[in-house]
Amino acid sequence: MTGAVLAQTTDANTRTSAFSFPLVGLASTETIGVNLINMASNTSNGTAASCTGTVAFLNSAGATIGTATPFTLAAGAVSTPTLAFSSSGLASPRGLIRTVVTTTSTSNVPCALSFTLNTYDTATGVTHVFLIGSGLQSGPSFGR
């Protein structure tokens, strides 16, 4: 069983949520990626669903590797930010990576972000690790 951390800040109109996957080992022949999809639908009154945020990869000391990758996803849209070992700054043959997904949502815009994390062999694409994150949801009824 793996654990994760979910943090939130709120005000009357916006909410920032951060989901932290547990540490994952990344070998010199691997790439790590986060698969994101916005499962929300556009509202009947015409408000378009949208999820915005960032994906950050951190080393075992907690420092962000490179810069966080921003995303904006409409209803049903998908994004897959990745980090190859060769771009991680880790020492071969293996290092630890923590991944943080952060979203900022407004109360009147539907967002139902679903995400998974995986590591895979960079050359063959064979998956080695697969973790499921909890969904982050917001929309017209959030905050009530």
pLDDT tens per residue, range 16-47: 989 999 999 999 999 999 999 999 999 989 89
Whole-number Å distance between alpha carbons of 124 and 110:
37
By the 8 A CB rule, do 36 and 73 touch?
Answer: yes
By the 8 A CB rule, do 20 and 4 touch?
Answer: yes
Record the pTM. 0.82
Indicate the helix (H) or strand (E) that contains 120. strand 111-121
Provide the residue count of the chain: 144
Region 124-130 average pLDDT? 92
